[in-house]
Structure 1
Amino acid sequence: MHFAAAERAAPHYVAVTVVEPGSAFALDPQRWPDLGQVPPAGVTARLARRIFAQAVAHLPVRVLGPGGRRLGGGGDERSATMTLHRPHEFFARVGAHGLIGFGESYQTGAWDADDLAAVLGAFARRVADLVPRPLQKLRGLYVARLPSEEDGDPVNARRNIERHYDLSNDLFELFLDESMTYSSALYGGAPAGGDESDDEARALHRAQLRKIDSILDAAGVREGSNVLEIGSGWGALAMRAAGERGAHVTTLTLSKEQKALAQERIAAAGLGERIEVRLADYREVGPPRGAPGYDAIVSVEMIEAVGERYWPDYFESIDRLLAPGGRAAVQSITMSHQRMLATRRTYTWIHKYIFPGGLIPSVPAIEQALRARTRLRLVRRLDFGEDYARTLRTWRNRFEAHWPAVSALGFDEVFHRTWRFYLAYCEAGFATGYLGVSQLTFAR
């Protein structure tokens, strides 16, 4: 659903109940150093409280204070509920750290929601207007900047990838589909089942295979093709290209954990002679031996980790490694160009706790990077952002259903809340049209 259509749809109401109980779980300050102390509740906290009150007054949001006191308008029996357990902490964190503080206050249990994606979606629909326009002019002085140690050079890129993808293969195996594909599925209009049902799990798996086949088709992968994959995941695409199409695949990853499990899965499938998994940066790779380049290059949701500064390097590498007449297909999360320009220097909650470094590109920014240093041009585009919302909802339901097993791996309740927020935050972004996802095909 496009943004304009979403605005015309039935309103999403959110009720906010403010209460003041203590935290229901222990927080390890050594494991979560920035969550262990609440910032001082000074002028910025009072300003955050005022901005929050103004924002919800112009949203389909109902705010209830202690004892049921009304703090805003709107809302009815359909409303999702946001509960501020510790409003002083909530406003102190938001006042000190903005949207990072908003997420951190959820991590600590300062607030909750009965339908987290719905609550976040209500704010996401009007995110550009939540802060008064006069204060938006001061944004550059207020928001945090990306730390230099997360810049996507070859050394930092490895650290950035390890911080997320080397958490635990067992963790990812618990909530992904059986192919262990960690990117948007392509449902192609397939009807949704129950979110936690076996039918929906099977639908997710079929949609992941459909996505892989779609991008292999876009790149022209067939029998005997020499394929380069930038970003291995756990080997699903490489295995389908080699096993179903008879291609020879070189696949790159910076994650030692992913490499180990991908090689194990490839060997078990009897595809070791057709697939080489390399622990290597895309900038370090040369053409295949005895050939001018790869017949096809594919990369699924890896460009987001590259960083704006290195997008020209990324596409130059693809151009350099692609054989004459070959095609490259990239699946990328996207955002509008204006929004990308407004946020490209901003250090976000997602950077801090989930994906360090990087930036979600716009399609115009990708085309600019192509023109800067390559002969490649965009020749095909397939958009399916709504499918990502469904993918994330299924992952979130599976993550919650398997939380006891995740906890047994050594992850604490703060991690539980962190990943619940991450998955719901992303789901809301795609459901509201703030984010999109596209398969982009390039040729010379």
Structure 2
Amino acid sequence: MNPTSLQEESRTAFRILFAISIAHLLNDMVQSIVPSIYPIIKEEMGLSFIQIGVITLVFQLTSSLLQPFVGMYADRRPSPYALAAGMCFTLTGLIWLAFTGSYAAMLGAVSVIGIGSSIFHPEASRVAQLAAGGKKGLAQSIFQVGGNGGTAIGPLLAALIVLPHGRLAVLWFALAAIMGALILTRVGRWYKRVVSNISGQRRKVRSVVDHLSKRRINMALAVLVVLTFSKQFYLASMTSYFTFFLIDKFGVSIQYSQIALFAFLAASAVGIIAGGYIGDKIGRKYVIWGSILGAAPFAIAMPYAGLTLTIILAIIVGLVISSAFSAILVYATELKPGKVGMIAGLFFGLSFGLGGVGAAFFGWLADIRGIYFVFEISTLLPLLGIVAAFLPDLKKIDKE
């Protein structure tokens, strides 16, 4: 490896990280349009709730289950321009969604959009790690916060643009997909220049887990899956039903409840960045442990607090618990060196899938037992953060 390559590998490429974060924002913004237009297509096509559920299922399956397999392929054969190709899939599905007139074609359109997401996330995570230099946690956080921003902005733009003007207004979001493809084409050129250094990077990362047995590595991955489950199920409860909880318990207006939800989501965005930065400094295990288990006392107190304290607790929980995902993902990729794409695809897929299952589960539970019961139960989930004690400490080896 020549000196220029070594210097490029050790330096954090913030220009690339911000570019991939913006592309993540655009990608997830477009993805979030799909559920936002359900009221329109239900009325236009006379769909039942079961048919709407099938659309969600197809979308979740293609955008979640395919990701580990796409990542596995990318690990073996890195494809610098696959990022732009994934955005082109999303663009194709979006145009198809705007013009389709049948239910079967609607399923085809959302599946193509989901495939675009499956291609984007594992390869983009590989780029984030390549651009990280010695700041993997911060790099993953910068990448991740773009996606969270896109998920938050998408429904708002759908309400302002698509709902008043009909399904054809979805085409305006094609501009975002085109912009994303252009950005990712430039990122792909950078990726192509440095991809020859990946083998050298793998040798260096492999030393992080040389002291661990295969059984210990697999146990650590199982622990990370449990932690992802607890985090995503709890976040599904908050993002889907926090507004209903505030309205039901305190009688606040819909507008007030939406502002409170925005405060929670904004705190979550700050937590993502903070978690990555702190994890690079003190070790990712402690961020994972502290973020999930550390959120437990505030979450458990929330159903029993007054209105003002409930909002304050929600902001604290959002700030603390959201710092975990970047640390979990980077920690997992360090356990499986050379398999960044597969691991990123697995954990992104788990996050999407568990979020969808959690929202459906808590919705079913709310219909049976009420929204207050949902919050009493869901706030216990962060207690599962205690299992982070079984993770091996990689901090010292990171510094070697």
TM-score (norm 2): 0.26
Structure having the larger proportion of residues in helix: 2
Structure ID, larger Rg? 1
| Higher normalized contact order (CA 8 Å, seq sep 6+, divided by chain length) | 2
TM-score (norm 1): 0.24
